Every structure is written in structure tokens, then in C-alpha cells.
Amino acid sequence: MSHLGLCPACGNELSDTKVCGSLVICDCGYSRSITNPHAPRRETKDRAVFTMIAICAFFVGSFIHAVNWDKYFFTIIPLKLKQVTSMANAEDYQQLIDICSQRAKSDCVENSYQSLYQIMPERVELLAELAHLQLLRTDFQKASNTLNLYFSKGGKSMDAAYDYARSLSKLGQYQQAITYFQSVLKAKPRVFQISVARAYIQTLMKSEKYSQAKSVIEYYRKNSVSSAFFMDPEYKEIQKLLRSSGRKVAKQS
């Protein structure tokens, strides 16, 4: 029997004399490639393997998606599709912000805030909310830029001013930070805003305004019965620095 085997169409032996290039042609008209006689079978096998891989990938992806989004598994899919295709509206982006916040997905929240502001620029408070998130993520430069835009658009939130002051202080822009800290403190003169006061004094110290920092600490100690030892470690450090500075001045004179 020929090494080419039998014709699957008519059953006759395939002859070497009927070879034309890479094809063997039977008298009945059947033809096939002789370079890889098992190609059809291998192609079918490869297709089956690819299908199995695709199915496994789908289930693995679905599992990961379910773990990531929990009860929002089905809700998030159409929202993400709308976002990718630029078909999402303000309500969709607000829903994305809420869901992503619940799932602690900061990148998603930040991107959704930015997209929402682009379609609703009149809602300047979105900038304050976005900047607060950026501050929490310790992205001080982004927070500073966002709040600069917020105040240039007429924003007046004192919470935003406090965030701006903290961002500026972290960036080493102490004088501008001091101005915003003072604005926040003056907005509620009868309230001891302890966190704001502490951050303000620390910024004064960073900018080497020790006398001013000392005066602020003494002011709050005097005006709050429960704050007799307010920022005591910092106060002692300031006194030490001022004494050291005084001795240097005395020597120079």
C-alpha cells in the first residue's frame, strides 16, 4: 500500500504519481495536502484547547469581578460599559462614585469625580470633594492644584480651605498655607478648632516663625480651661529654640 494511504472518498489507493506540489489528487477528484496529513485533526484539537482556555478565563475573570465588587457585581457592569463608551451621564457617575467609595476603590472614585465635573462644571463643590480624596491619598500636589481651581471658581468652603492649607504645608509653601489656616481659624473665633490650630502651629514652626507659634499656643492655653498644656512638647521645643537663637544674637552683638 502507498504511504499516502487510501482515498477517504472512494477507497482507492492514493498513488505517488498523482502528487502535484503539496497536493495528492485521486482519480475520483478528491485532493488533500500531503505536507501535514494530520492538520485537520490538529486544528480541531487546537480549537478545542482554545475554547477551554477561553471558558476558564471567563470563569476566573467572573470570580475576580465578583470578589472585587461583591453585591454590586451586576450593577457595575453597565455603568463601566457606559463609562468606557463615553455614554455615562451625571447620575451614572454619581452612582459610580457611591459604589467605588463603598468598595474602597480610590482610583475609580477619583476618575468618576473628574468625569462628573467635566459634564457639570457648575458644581464647584465636586472639586472640593475630589481634592479631599486626593489629600487622603497623600497626593498633595494634585489636591493643591484642584483646590486652587476650586477657589478660583468662587469656592468658599472652610473645610476646603483647611485641606488647601494642609496640602500647601506638605508642599513646603508655608506662607500661603499660613494664610489659609488663619482664614479657617478666624471663621469660627469662639470655637477651639484643635486640629486646625495644631496644624497651623506646626506650619509656623516649619517656617521658623517660633515667636508667632509660641504666641498662638499661649493664646489657646489662656482662652481654654482644658488646654493648659496644649502642645506642651512643641511649646518646650520652641522655648529651647528661642533661647538658642537669643544666645546666638547676643554673641554676634
Asked if residue 214 has pLDDT above 50, the reply is yes
pLDDT band, very low/low/confident/very high, at 227 (cuts 50, 70, 90) = confident
Q: Which residue has the higher pLDDT, 49 or 1?
A: 49
Which amino acid appears at position 184 of this protein? V
d(CA 48, CA 70): 32
Instruction: Output the pLDDT for position 63.
Output: 43
The pLDDT tens digits for 87-96 are 999 999 999 9
- Global confidence as pTM: 0.71
Q: Mean per-residue pLDDT for 203-221?
A: 97
Nearest of 183, 119, 178, 175 to residue 151 by alpha carbon? 183
* Cβ atoms < 10 Å from Cβ of 141: 11
CA distance 217 to 226: 13
What band does 11 get if pLDDT is binned at 50, 70 and 90?
Answer: low
Determine contact, residues 195/203, Cβ cutoff 8 Å: no
Segments of the chain assigned E as strands: 19-20, 23-25, 31-33
Q: How would residue 207 be classed by pLDDT, with cut points 50, 70 and 90? A: very high
pLDDT at 168 over 90: yes
Q: How far apart are CA 47 and CA 50, in angstroms?
A: 5
| Whole-angstrom distance, CA of residue 232 vs CA of residue 127 | 37
Name the residue with higher pLDDT: 228 or 60: 228
Q: What is the mean pLDDT of residues 177-199?
A: 96
Q: For the chain, what percent of residues have pLDDT higher than 70? A: 72
| Cell digits of residue 46 | 487546537
201, pLDDT greater than 60 = yes
pLDDT for position 86? 85
191 versus 7: the higher-pLDDT residue is: 191
53, pLDDT greater than 60: yes
What pLDDT was estimated at residue 244?
Answer: 87
Q: What is the pLDDT of residue 59?
A: 47
* pLDDT at position 113: 96
What digits encode the pLDDT tens for the residues 127-160?
A: 999 999 999 999 999 999 999 999 999 999 999 9
Residue 200 has pLDDT above 50, yes or no: yes
